[in-house]
Structure 1
């Protein structure tokens, strides 16, 4: 592994959804992400893309996918497989990805918008640091069961301005 004088960037996060077209609309309309590419469809083991996808993702018949981008150029890659079933409840105690965090200075407003558009704002709005109402957060679910955290400020701004 090479040494780096800077942190590596994050290119994208992949999410599986049961209805790709609906999810593209939801993430763009509700969270304000940009639709970059797709939907595209791949059949496993068919052509270069199908062989590549089967090697990377394992067994599947066909899949559709699309690329979105956040305001700070982090990609969201949405996948729909012919075998995509209903969502399971996220379990933060299990190893692996369990939420996305989006930035919005109006945490309560975005949480209400998520609620109004088929998601679920299920937690309270919290001060990230006790007795400091400038920095807030809350948790929601998208309509597909994926956990969404909403921060009032960027991660760097929140933690670089605090004493260790």
Structure 2
């Protein structure tokens, strides 16, 4: 039986390519508190394993092996880290005007402490911490970078709370 009703799909995970998987696992687990659910492991190009064949399907044949690790946020969103032995080892230039993934966002009510920890761990604060409703509600946000130059955002409150009242009105 098919249904024509459209419903919101849940978010499962995001994949991030990093230059050093061990440093990335350390940063994301120690600074952001994400759970390591699979330590860094090697994946080889081979057709006789399910993961090997899946990766050939996704990446094609121009690779031999790479490292992968899996983490999880407190609400069960997966973070899939990849590290390839080839490729450019720096983040792409920040250009939110081009089509593509612009950033991801995490939530922490203690935004000031988290931003300080990110900077102390080699990341960067891209802007001052800003309030959406400076005179009415304590909702804050800030853009930062991890030590590898990957841009992400921090909110103090949920997405639904932040925007349900019309943050720009």
Same fold (TM over 0.5): yes
State the TM-score, normalized to the length of structure 2.
Answer: 0.87
Could you tell me which of 46, 50, 53 is aligned with 2:52? 50
Q: Distance in 2 between matches of 1:3 and 1:37?
A: 38
Q: Does 1:96 align with 2:100?
A: yes
| Structure 1 residue 6, shift from structure 2 partner | 3.4
Find 1:68's aligned residue among 67, 71, 88: 71
Question: Equivalent residue of 2:7, what SS?
Answer: coil
Distance change >3 Å, CA 57–CA 131, structure 1 → 2:
farther
- Residues 1:12 and 1:27: Cα distance change in structure 2 (over 3 Å): same
CA contact (8 A) 1:44 1:51 kept: yes
TM-superposed deviation, 1:89? 2.1
CA spacing shift, 1:32–1:83, aligned 2, 3 Å: same
Q: Paired residue for 1:112? A: 116
Alignment partner, residue 14 of structure 2 = 13
Residue 13 of structure 1 deviates from its aligned partner by 0.3
For 1:157, which of 157, 161, 165 is the aligned residue? 161
Q: In structure 2, how many angstroms separate the alpha carbons of the residues matched to 1:60 and 1:150? A: 35
Count of residue pairs brought into register by the alignment:
164
Check conservation: 1:61, 1:81, Cα contact below 8 A.
no
Secondary structure (helix, strand or coil) at the match of 1:149 reads strand
* 1:33 aligns to 2:51 (yes or no): no
Structure 2 unmatched runs, 5+: none
Deviations 1:113-134 (A, max 9, x none): 1000010012011112454451
